[in-house]
Amino acid sequence: MPPIIKFGTDGWRAVIGEDFTFDNVRACAQGVADYLLDGGAAKNGLLIGYDTRFASEDFAAAVAEVIAANGIKAYLNPKAAPTPVISYAIVVKKAAGGVIITASHNPHIWNGFKYKPEYGGSASPEVTADLEKRIHQIVSSGKVKRLPLSDGLKQGLIEYHDPAPVYLSHIAEMVDLEHIRKAGLKIAVDSMYGAGAGYFRRLLKGGSTRLIELNFKRNPLFPGIQPEPIASHLTKLSKRVKASGADVGLATDGDADRIGVLDENGVFVTQLQVFALLTLYLLEVRGERGAIVKSVTTTDMVYKLGELYSVPVFETPVGFKYLGPKMMAENALIGGEESGGFGYRGHIPERDGVLSGLYILDFMVKTGKKPSELIKYLYSKVGPHHYNRIDFHFSEEKREAVVQRLSQLKPTEIDNTKVTKIDTVDGFRFRLSDGSWLLIRLSGTEPVLRIYAESDSPEHVERLLKAGEKLAGI
């Protein structure tokens, strides 16, 4: 039986050597080629990038061979690059789209296949449904065209293309880099062995600001970590921040579309706090105005900021395949999700960990505040908000049973607090009378049950998470 290739919140991901094979990657590439040819957009070519995972460059070359065999110009990255770098290049080149070989934050045994349409963001559910149908037929039939890489290069159907220069130039227009360079900051940067290695250095070199770089050499095993910039994976960075007296710690995930932030004490700044800080920075420090787009899993603080600065706030299911289109429709100032991914107007409707990190640095420089002081400043405006998330792995065959159990939940109280609303926009979210919320949902990219909570104290958050475990039957 052929494997079921299904696109989650951002692309298809699978274990290398099991379902993530060259045959299946080529089938995905053929599906993209057919989609572009049928849509009449193929003439502008396709960008192909990859991250630092095992054999990512070889899988990317296999994609290029298939794309070229279908008569579509393939622009192949000569080296690993962050997903947002490739996404921005798609827009600049006015290409038909892009394919990126990456599994983002997943463990080292995984790899993935992301498709980005012409606007450089995540493909919409309608597009991924179309691709899935085409790919399933191709896997079943085995009909894949292929032009050897050397022949494609000779014929001009494959061309090596470095997307970094135009990206770096654009970022220099998005943020005051010279101000950050001259600020004399000490910044600890953890690239998590991923594609973001070297980008902060390239952008900030030449001034009194100093960078301390960790895990910046390629290692597809991601030794000791999973390349997801959350507190449990950033203990090494935390120790380095404290030992070096750094002003801040920044971490990017495997393909550098997400950011993790540690304050000057090595304490993790939650993704919800980071989103609210970035929103406050754009609204107050830069004086910009525009809609805010948030996923269901992220903070209610942006609702309060929306009220304070008279801007609308829109909510979507998890994933930039929902956030991105809404950002474009509303010309939104910022869009963000709980995973640490944030996108911005004037850039691409897609997550960018590097630009997000630079915005945090600029916020620090413009206000003269360290990260912990920025959080206090934020709380002075919206009140204290605390958050945590716990994950539980389960076998894929149990997914339906888990969903069935969750769909029957109708609690009237959680942690002795009245449930005022239950919504199922994405998962099962319980809003409580004291302003807290609890969300239970299944990951769209891996067999993981996630439980999220936000409240006014860390203790209340932990009680809500425990209640969530009981509700989910974990």
The pLDDT of residue 409: 86
pTM of the model: 0.94
pLDDT surpasses 90 at 43: no
Arithmetic mean of pLDDT, 277-288: 98
Q: Write the DSSP string, 277-304.
A: HHHHIIIIIS-----EEEETTS-THHHH
Q: For the segment 85-95, what is each residue's pLDDT rounded down to a tens digit?
A: 999 999 999 99
In percent, how much of the chain has pLDDT > 90? 89
The pLDDT of residue 1: 54
Arithmetic mean of pLDDT, 94-111: 96
The pLDDT of residue 41: 80
**Whole-angstrom distance, CA of residue 371 vs CA of residue 302:** 18
pLDDT surpasses 90 at 30: yes
pLDDT surpasses 80 at 449: yes
In percent, how much of the chain has pLDDT > 70? 99
The pLDDT of residue 354: 98
Arithmetic mean of pLDDT, 217-236: 95
pLDDT surpasses 80 at 444: no
Arithmetic mean of pLDDT, 235-251: 98
The pLDDT of residue 443: 81
Arithmetic mean of pLDDT, 21-40: 96
The pLDDT of residue 404: 84
Q: What's the helix, strand, coil split of the chain in %, to 5?
A: 40, 20, 35
Handedness of CA 216, 221, 227, 231 (dihedral sign): negative
Q: For the segment 198-208, what is each residue's pLDDT rounded down to a tens digit?
A: 999 999 999 99
Arithmetic mean of pLDDT, 203-220: 97
Strands lying side by side in the sheet with 417-423:
386-393, 448-455, 437-442, 428-432, 417-423, 413-414
Phi, psi of 235 (to 5 degrees): -65, -35
* Mean pLDDT, the chain, whole residue set: 95
**Whole-angstrom distance, CA of residue 287 vs CA of residue 291:** 13
In the chain the domains, ranked by start, together with CATH numbers, are 12-163 (3.40.120.10), 186-269 (3.40.120.10), 270-383 (3.40.120.10), 386-472 (3.30.310.50)
